[in-house]
Structure 1
């Protein structure tokens, strides 16, 4: 969570997705099947419901372990609507004290690529791995905005 922010709720997406886990798939054998272990449709639905409820109730929320490009895009669109984009600097200037939604990503998701997962497998111990190569780029762009 950003140092100068506060929130009413903290949500760990990895914990919310546990009831939707497909126990029949072992993603450690093949990380490409991660999308089938934790459904991206379920994750996006849960994320959207929580964001919508939070905005309606005028609360603040912080998400951890998001793993979808669409989630980053939702927050980007929200920040654009809230006027956090400074056109003269061509970047976001976010007032985290007042931002209704903040997100956190495991920094390891930015370091490892799918090639690394295939090589290192069990030595990489974190959840969730990125769902797609574009996700790493989206997270880096979000962090640099």
Structure 2
């Protein structure tokens, strides 16, 4: 089922004033924004669970680390993306393997509800959870 172009223009014109040649860009940008925010809100509970599994005492340190990282990443990313010769795709770091590893750890490992902190976990467990927390905190900045 395809919707005619004039019908799409009519539907879009109910919400915003847009020229006919701008409708495709409007639909693409709105759907991109929707999917980016949807992905963010899917990953957000994973970030929170990973931080809580390290212990409630580590949360203030994670929030301070997130603030400091934001103060560094925001100006640096602005500088990178304002360079005219740099491809925008080179500014991002591929993290698919980190996310897959985090999901495998969360599925394969059970943590007791009364877990007191990160004292019994290895360095990889702790570093993946801290990295995921800080990375998700920076998603909307980039």
TM-score (ref. length: structure 1): 0.32
Structure of higher RCO (CA pairs closer than 8 Å, 6+ residues apart): 2
Whose strand fraction is larger, Structure 1's or Structure 2's? 1
Which structure's CA Rg is the greater one?
2
Whose helix fraction is larger, Structure 1's or Structure 2's? 2
